[in-house]
Amino acid sequence: MAEDYLWYAGIPFPAMLYKMEDIKAAHEQFVVKDEDIITVTYPKSGTNWMIEILCLILSKGDPEWIHSVPIWERSPWIEAELGSKIIRDMKEGPRLLTSHLPIQLFPKSFLTSKAKVIYIIRNPKDVLVSGYYFYRHSKLMKNPESLQQFYGWFIQGNVPYGSWFAHVLGWMSMRERENVLVLSYEALKKDTRSTVKRICQFLGKKLEPEELDLVLENSSFQAMKENKMSNYSLSDRSYFPTGVEMIRRGMVGDWKNHLTVTQAEAFDKIFREKLAGIPPELLPCD
Ligand code: A3P
């Protein structure tokens, strides 16, 4: 069935998008190049926003590229069936790549490369709510009957790409590496300009103030919502028969509009238990 998972190394992947051999190849054979820039996230953490920003940094704010090529082709997913095909046909030059893989399945070659990874974390309660609205009518998983049901699955890790907690714990262990930048969706929302400057510094790219203005303008929530190359209105209808609202609310704390106090408190308790070893200031959950 379309909604079935493909289980690989204990992680559920949407069977419609992934093949066992592509995930295995991504982990064992994929050759990461030193010039690669890789956006890594647990889904619904701001992946596409980061991709848009990176595309615009590379083009110095010129929107021609983001207005003419679908976002999934500009920064293909390493482990996905479609992504691996696109990557094979990519021309020489610095590559933008994307991945939702947990660290234990990420390309092994990364560990000895100078490629740069930007890992985005987001308040998991917002990730949960965003995921519910994204998956509920999709063919990517068994559709939840209610937010309460999805909440249970999310906590168990019975959602695409498995446990949020395990994903974040795994990637946080990489945060001291020189070529890994961990950023939060919340920081990006709060002060987009400074955070984009931090990204430029990490990538060794210098933008003039007016180029930075263009990056911010063209990657804004509204601009992305209107850009058909970035809002997934061109995506395959077989994944989302009733359409998809990829650029949905773009808020910090939208969970407060959806989770009950009891649900939020129970979530926070699990969060504190599972992520006890990570300094709380690094992880948004309020
Ligand atoms: P919401 O569903 O909470 O609105 P991903 O790209 O990892 O799937 O993440 C999707 C989330 O990022 C969605 O969150 C979406 O609205 C938000 N998002 C996408 N583009 C954004 C932008 N330019 N500014 C703020 N949030 C954005």
Q: Residue 1: is its pLDDT beyond 60?
A: no
- Establish if 130 belongs to a structural domain: no
CA of 112 to the centre of ligand 1 (A): 32
Segment (H or E) for 124: helix 124-135
Q: Kindly state the average pLDDT of the residues 112-123.
A: 97
Rounded Cα distance between 242 and 141, Å, is 15
Decide if 151 is inside a domain: no
pLDDT at 2: 60
Distance (Å, whole) CA 26 – CA 88: 12
Please identify which of the residues 67, 100, 137, 167 carries the catalytic annotation.
Answer: 100
Is residue 284 over pLDDT 80? no
267 within a domain of the structure (yes/no): no
Check pLDDT > 80 for residue 218.
yes
- What is the sign, positive or negative, of the torsion defined by CA atoms of 79, 83, 85, 88? negative
Give the count of beta carbons closer than 10 Å to the beta carbon of residue 18: 23
Pocket of ligand 1 (CB under 6 A): 41, 43-49, 126, 130, 133, 219-221, 224, 247-250, 254
Is there a domain that residue 50 lies in?
A: yes
- Report whether 65 contacts 74 (CB < 8 A): yes
Whether residue 100 lies in the annotated active site: yes
Query: Which pLDDT score is estimated for 241?
Result: 86
* Structural domain contains residue 183: yes
Distance in angstroms (rounded) separating the CA atoms of residues 193 and 26: 33
Q: What does pLDDT average to over the chain?
A: 95
Place of tokens 């955070």: 195
Structure tokens at 241: 């028969």
State pTM to two decimals.
0.97
Residue 222 falls within a domain, yes or no? yes
Q: What are 120-136's pLDDT values in tens digits?
A: 999 999 999 999 999 99
Alpha-carbon torsion angle 58, 60, 61, 63, nearest 10: -60
pLDDT in tens, 25-42: 999 999 999 999 999 999
What pLDDT sits at residue 185?
97
- Where is average pLDDT lowest: 150-159, 178-187, 225-234, 242-251? 242-251
User: What total of structural domains would you count in the chain?
Assistant: 1
Residue of 246, 254, 258 to test ligand 1 pocket, by largest number of atoms within 8 Å of CB: 246
**Phi-psi domain of 82 (left: phi exceeds 0; alpha: psi -120 through 50; beta: other):** alpha
Kind of pairing, strands 116-121 and 96-99?
unpaired
Higher-confidence position of 93 and 84: 84
Query: Is residue 3 scored above 80 in pLDDT?
Result: no
User: Closest residue (by CA) to atom 5 of ligand 1?
Assistant: 44
Higher pLDDT, 252 or 239: 252
Band (pLDDT 50/70/90 cuts) for residue 45 is very high
Can you give the three-state secondary structure of 164-209, one letter per residue? HHHHHHHHHCCCCCCCEEEEEHHHHHHCHHHHHHHHHHHHCCCCCH
Sorted by sequence, the CB contacts under 8 Å of residue 250 that are 6+ apart come out as: 49, 189, 221
| Other Cβ atoms within 10 Å of 139 Cβ, number | 21
137 in a structural domain? no
3-class SS of residue 77: strand
- Residue 59's φ and ψ, nearest 5 degrees, are -95, 10
Query: Is the residue at 89 inside a domain?
Result: yes
Q: Are 97 and 39 in contact (CB under 8 A)?
A: yes
pLDDT, mean of residues 214-228: 98
The rounded Å distance from CA 113 to ligand 1 centre is 29
> Looking at residue 159, what is its pLDDT?
96
Give the domain extent around 50: 2-122+161-242
The fraction of the chain above a pLDDT of 70, given in percent, is: 99
CATH label of the domain that carries residue 9:
3.40.50.300
Pick the closest to residue 44 from 112, 108, 100 (CA basis). Answer: 100
- Supply the residue whose CA is at minimum distance from atom 24 of ligand 1: 221
For the chain, state the CA radius of gyration.
Answer: 18
Residue 11 has pLDDT above 70, yes or no: yes
Q: Give nearest CA residue, ligand 1 atom 22.
A: 221
> Is residue 143 within 8 Å of 135, Cβ to Cβ?
yes
Residues 116/37, Cβ–Cβ less than 8 Å: yes
Over residues 4-12, the mean pLDDT reads 94
Report pLDDT digits (tens) over 53-78. Answer: 999 999 999 999 999 999 999 999 99
Query: For ligand 1, atom 2, which residue shows the shortest CA distance?
Result: 130
Residue 162 pLDDT greater than 60, yes or no: yes
